[in-house]
Chains A and B, each alone.
Chain A
Amino acid sequence: MDDVALHLVTAARSGDRDALAALWTRERSWLAAVLAAQGAEGSDLDDLLQDCALHLLKDIGKLREPAAFRPWCRRMALNLGAARGRREARRSHRSLEEMGGLEPSAPDRPGDDGLVSALREIPPAMREVLLLRAVDGLGDREIAGILELTVEAVESRLARGRRRLREALERRREREAARPVNGESA
């Protein structure tokens, strides 16, 4: 975190709501990436982000070390996502992964060229690094700070994640090519 962010965290912990609002504006994009990496999308993602904002507002005073703000926020987002998943699973007797057609063979969403579907086929840890890199121009050091990893570990996950994503996209393309068109039998 840079100096401005640290000052904002410090001020927000002491009750400065303008500082907290500024902090939220700076941090919300990568939190969206963390939640998206867990499978949240659409209105679910919006709701979870709103939950994160509310919990940040409520709990920022409990943060002990300003420098630990980002990992603390990430854990909060993961906990909220997990809690929501458990609630949904109890309600529908389905897991979060089953909701919204998250199975790897689900048809692509219009306009995403299979990217979102292919991302679901790679391990969440790699997916998270790829999405964190994609938002806000986060560098390896910042991503390492959020995930509490070494920079080398982030670089490794990024490299392997990119390969796994390419492989997943190629598998999807092969499946699409093998899929019978209308009127043809398999």
Chain B
Amino acid sequence: MTTSPDRDEILSRIVDRRATPDDWTATDGWEDGALAATLLPRLRDDAALRGLGAELERRAASVVLPIAPRRRRGFVRAAAAVILLVAGFGLGRLGSSRPAPATPDADVGPPATAADHFARYLDRGQSEGLVIESLPSLVLEARWNDDRGRMELVTLRQVVERRDADGVLAETRTEDGEPAVRTLDTVALRGAQSF
């Protein structure tokens, strides 16, 4: 393929949808069919590159900054794993999806802040086997706050917990693609390591 640099730059601008009127005028002088013959493959290449870019973004999204909010033990790569199972019936004292506040220990005194309460929940949860890991928070939004004169971050805490359950519900979809919930046969799952 022989193409002049000018032609490459015009094609590149067309692919990026920022071709100028002069660019389009220049294509009038190209031989019959040249525009379509050269432009279509490059549009297809661009779509393929964007697909590759999306794959790179997905890979990058799984790499989080290893900042420990509190007593993080090792870095767990499973942070991005989607948890499909939801706690169902018969969960007993762990049935609530909201982390239970820790009971203040008599010899330590009442915690002063929400952060202290949360740290206590992690400590107590780890000692009781409820909390497996506390992962770095995900930043959902970052914005400048003029009133406070500093950045304001909206974050999502991630705590990996282990719970006992007599029965579990799984999110699924109907044949029509509608979201639905079904009860899993836990007896049949007895031999499975995990699912």
Q: Which A residues form the contact surface with B (CB < 8 A)? A: 3-4, 7-8, 11, 16-22, 24-26, 28-29, 31-33, 36, 45-46, 49-50, 53-54, 56-57, 112-113, 115-116, 130-131, 133-136, 155-156, 158-160, 162-163, 165-167, 169-170
CB-defined contacts of A155 to chain B, threshold 8 Å = 9, 12-13
Decide if A36 touches B56 in the complex (CB within 8 Å).
yes
Q: Please, which residues of chain B bring their CB within 8 A of the CB of A7? A: 144, 151
B151 and A19 contact, CB distance less than 8 A: yes
| Extra inter-chain contacts (16) besides given A7-B151, A21-B155, A135-B60, CB under 8 Å | A18-B155, A19-B153, A21-B67, A21-B136, A24-B65, A29-B56, A29-B60, A32-B59, A33-B53, A36-B56, A45-B59, A135-B54, A136-B53, A163-B3, A166-B1, A170-B1
Sample of 19 A–B contacts (CB below 8 Å): A21-B155, A22-B139, A25-B139, A28-B61, A29-B53, A29-B60, A46-B62, A50-B63, A53-B64, A57-B66, A115-B49, A115-B52, A134-B56, A135-B54, A156-B9, A159-B5, A160-B8, A162-B8, A166-B45
Are A162's CB and B12's CB within 8 A? yes
Number of chain B residues close to chain A: CB under 8 A = 41
Q: Complex formed: what's the CA distance from A97 to B45 in Å?
A: 24
Residues of B contacting A24 in the complex (Cβ-Cβ under 8 angstroms): 64-65
- Asked whether B142 lies within 8 Å of A4 as measured between CB atoms, the reply is yes
Taking the nearest CB of chain A, how far is it from the CB of B148, in angstroms? 12
* Distance, CA A134 to CA B52, complexed state (A): 7
Taking the nearest CB of chain B, how far is it from the CB of A158, in angstroms?
5
**Would you list the 7 A-B pairs with minimal beta carbon distance, nearest first?**
A134-B53, A159-B12, A135-B53, A32-B60, A159-B8, A22-B139, A28-B60
Q: Convert B171-182 into 0s and 1s, putting 1 for each residue whose CB lies closer than 8 angstroms to a CB of A.
A: 000000000000
Contacts of A3 in B (CB 8 A): 144
A-B pair number, CB within 8 angstroms: 134
> Given that A3-B144, A8-B142, A136-B53 are known contacts, is A57 also in contact with B151, CB under 8 Å in the complex?
no
Beta-carbon contact of B49 and A53 below 8 Å: no
CA A18 to CA B150, docked complex, whole Å: 12
Assembly CA distance A135 to B61 (angstroms): 12
The digit string for B1-21, where 1 denotes a CB below 8 A from any CB of A, is 101010011011101000000
Report A129 CB to chain B, min CB distance, Å. 11
User: Which residues B89-125 have CB closer than 8 A to chain A?
Assistant: none
Q: Which residues of B contact A169 (CB under 8 A)?
A: 41, 45
B143 is an interface residue with CB less than 8 A from chain A: yes
A4 touches B143 (CB 8 A): yes
Centre residue among A21, A112, A116 by max chain B CB count within 10 A: A21
Contact A130 B49 (CB under 8 A): yes
Interface centre among A53, A166, A167 (most CB of B within 10 A): A166
Partner of B57, one of A19, A113, A135, A159: A135
Asked if A46 and B8 make an inter-chain contact with CB atoms under 8 angstroms apart, the answer reads no
User: How far apart are the CA atoms of A9 and B136 in the complex, in Å?
Assistant: 19
Output the nearest chain A residue to B56 by Cβ-Cβ distance. Answer: A32
- Contact between A116 and B57, CB atoms less than 8 A apart: no
CB-nearest residue of chain A relative to B57? A29
User: Cα distance A131–B53 when bound, in Å?
Assistant: 7
* Distance to closest chain B CB from A130 (angstroms): 6
* Of A17, A20, A135, A165, the contact of B45 (CB 8 Å cutoff): A165
